[in-house]
Chain A
Amino acid sequence: MAKRAVEQAVKVKPRAEVGRLVRLCVAAWLVPGCGHLMLGRKWRALILFVSILSMFLLGIAMQGELFKAHSASYLERLGFFGEMAVGVAMPAALFFGYSGGNPFFVSADYGTAFLVAAGMLNVLAILDAYDIARGRKT
């Protein structure tokens, strides 16, 4: 009887769990560090937010290229997904008037690398938040 009570207490509804994880990953994607904030890891969230967003802003300052989804080149399409991984920062930059980069600017290539790397770091942050939510990490 006691064993059954323990088993019932431990059982988690799978749909609710999946929904929670999806919401966590979407939040972590949209705003860097938000997933960790939802899990209560405030300092980790703040450091991730500042680092990833700083990389993105440095990429913008260096006039890095914002790739387009409908590009003829597969590499540019990959670059678009890399930059979209930062979340709302990319559409926000376009909304506030960033023209998508100046390839003739002296630091433009470095800027592009910063923009894509910021997206990739956010992917790591999303995966970390997922692992913490699943209990695989502390």
Chain B
Amino acid sequence: MTEPEQTSSESGRTAPGINLSGTIQETQGTGKVKTYSTREAVFKLENVTASYAGKPAVSDVTMDVYTHAITALIGPSGCGKSTLIRCLNRMNDLIPTASVDGRVLYHGEDVYGPQVDPVEVRKRIGMVFQKPNPFPKSIYDNIAFGPRVLGMDGNMDEIVETALRDAALWDEVKDRLETNAFGMSGGQQQRLCIARALAVEPDVILMDEPCSALDPISTGKIEDLMLELKQRYSIVIVTHNMQQAARVSDMTAFLIVKLDAEEKHRQGKLVEYDVTEKIFTNPADRRTEDYVSGKVG
């Protein structure tokens, strides 16, 4: 068991009585509740502020993301969920005006450290986006692309098959691996993108609204897949779907949009971060309650 650490941010408290495998909550003599994690933190975010052109989009986020768990980021549009998730694998580097302050520690190592290669970061921390974005190539080549670029050892056929099996897609496509990926359904294309991310043997998978363009059946398949994948990977997901966060995630972080001190710029703030069951049954902060209840948007 690690040292005690609070899992809440701005609200700063949790309540006893609901435990999730992997966390232990207890009330101290002062009445303060501490959450202990029996899991290792894959990410430790320390006062992370992400800005575009010097204006913070999300500011001062401190939270731990645990291994072999699904962590959901929820909040209204503009609260910085996507910006925050893109900080985790340096995707914001691709935007010229973007900058990140604070520290993003990945297994204790600063992702933004001077010696760190962003390509290596994105290999270990894969990403799946809102809209399926397969390459205009065959199903096989979509999966093989990453391993080839990275010069991975091993039998490519096996790598492709393993990735497709892990993404629960193999049985549907094994007889048409050489056909163009654009011929697949939207749900299949999204699972192909997940398989593509898995093919380079990542440690973490980031998903930015992965089901928002999918029908309920495809969404269900992706959600089942996420629950399977968390046994071997750590997953962080941004979602606008409250029920999806409640269904699949172990931990949930709620962010809001706030005006800055001069009331000129809107920026995202972490309000509450806790076990998902707690967030959806008895959140500590009124703003979380109003949002997850759908009373404010």
Do they bind each other?
A: no
